[in-house]
Structure formats: C-alpha cells, structure tokens
Amino acid sequence: MDFSEDQIQRYSRHILLPEVGGAGQAKLMGARVLIVGAGGLGAPMLLYLAAAGVGTIGVIDDDTVDLSNLQRQVIHTTGSVGRPKVDSAIEAVASLNPEVRIEAHRGRLNAGNVMDILAGYDLVADGTDNFATRFLLNDACYLAGKTLVSAALLRFDGQLSTFKAHLGDPHPCYRCIFREPPPAGMVPSCSEAGVFGAVAGAVGTLQATEVLKELLGIGDSLSGSLLMYDALSTTFRKVKVKRDAECPLCGTHPAIHDLSAHAPGNAAPADAGVA
C-alpha cells in the first residue's frame, strides 16, 4: 500500500525494522483486534495497539470509570470518572492516533453474543480477570477459529499465554492448562486481594507485544508456553505447556461442541475483577 507522508513519519521506527517493514506496517493497518475489558490490561493494550497503527480495535466493557480504577487503568483520567469505560477509551485512542478505528461494544459478553462479536475480528485479547468470561472466550475462540492472547493479574504477579488450538497439534487451549473454573471464592479477585498498578502496565504491554507478533507472524509465539511474572523478585518464568489429549474442548474425543454450557446472560461483566 502507499503510505502518506504523515504515516511514514508516524510509523518510521516500525518500518525501519526488517521484521516489520512497510509490508508489516500495512498488515497492522489492515488488522482487526478485539480487546475484552478496558481495565488494567486493556488500557496499555489499547494505547500500544493504537500507537502501532492497528487499523480497527474493538473494545467490549459494560462498566463505568471509578476513582479506584485510576491507580492502574491509565487510559482513563480523573475527568472520566462516572463515564462508560468504552467512551473514555475511544476518546484516549482518538487523541493518540486518529487514524485508528475504534468499535465500542458496551455490554456484557455472553454465549448469546460472543460468536457474532468475534466474527468481525482477526484476533482476540482477553483483558479480564474473570473465570466465567475467560472460559467462555477460550471456548468461543476455539470454535470460531480465532487466536486468543490471554493475560491475568493478581497482587504483584501476572501470567500470559497465546492460545490457538484451532490450528491443531501441538497448540494447547486454556482448558489444557486449567480444565474448569475453580469453585466460587477460592481465587480472590483484584478488588479483594489488590493489584500493584505498574504490574498491570507491564503485563498489558507484554500482551500487546504478543498481539502484534501474532498479527505480523514474527518471532516465537507464546502458544505452548505460559509466561509468569513476579514483580517483587523481578523474575520471569516460562513453562512449556502441551496440548492435552483428554481436553474436553480440543482433545481427541471432545465433549464440548458448542457454547451451551455457558448460559446466555450469566457471564460476568467483561471487566469484572480486572485490573
């Protein structure tokens, strides 16, 4: 594609990279990414994907900005308190890169709407800390043939992986690692246990990097690995994860063929417990 002079200047540091170049930048500008949750993880993802020139970014969230969000959800401002997060996100992205198109989905993600929403995007990024939504997204992305980049936060820790089991062996899905959601109350949410604000920025930025790598097809994918970050010890640990032949979703004899187990309307808000 032909770049305008402004685009050449805006994306010059990408274009200089042999792994990206003009062809890669054009690919980013034509890409469509859905971010689920405009919270602690979604905020840095939205900013960095917009800065990178990802052409269309969808964001789904049904919450409003609260003062307690501002310690880590850096896309929102004090003046945004009380406003829908998707509206605040649109405003911030437009200010950073007006060429990027933002598609706002204000509402709850559930089994009744998730497949229709996913259909419009090339890749999905999970910015929630909610097991119901996380399992729903994993199952839906597998069934829809979409790559999912998923991250989670709690206190001073974060974890990150990419799931593309729809491509077959050796790629695992989320259920290959975590078979089913834990019992209610067993794992505290960020609102219960707390989260160190800068950890959300660190992990969300790593998540944005993996999204861009997947869109460009460069580097080593995190599919088949779980990256764990401990901010207090400043350590990263990368654990290999294999596809599970007994997985009920992507295994040899799957038991999950649709989203009927996820009752419509019962999924938690897209940003519940997030960041």
pLDDT in tens for each of the 275 residues of the chain? Answer: 789 999 999 999 999 999 999 999 999 999 999 999 999 999 999 999 999 999 999 999 999 999 999 999 999 999 999 999 999 999 999 999 999 999 999 998 999 999 999 999 999 999 997 899 999 999 999 999 999 999 999 999 999 999 999 999 999 999 999 998 877 777 777 778 899 999 999 999 999 999 999 999 999 999 999 999 999 999 999 999 999 999 999 999 999 999 999 975 444 433 333 34
Amino acid, single-letter form, for residue 149: V
Contact in structure between 161 and 208 (CB atoms under 8 Å): no
Contact in structure between 74 and 201 (CB atoms under 8 Å): yes
Amino acid, single-letter form, for residue 47: L
- d(Cα 242, Cα 231) in Å, to the nearest integer? 26
Distances (CA, A) of 241 to 26, 119, 167, 226: 33, 28, 16, 7
Q: Hey, which residues does 152 pair with through a beta bridge?
A: 159
- CB-side neighbour CA atoms (13 Å) of 241: 26
Q: What domains does the chain contain, in order, with CATH numbers?
A: 14-240 (3.40.50.720)
Distances (CA, A) of 133 to 22, 37, 219, 271, 273: 36, 10, 29, 9, 11
Indicate yes or no: pTM above 0.85: yes
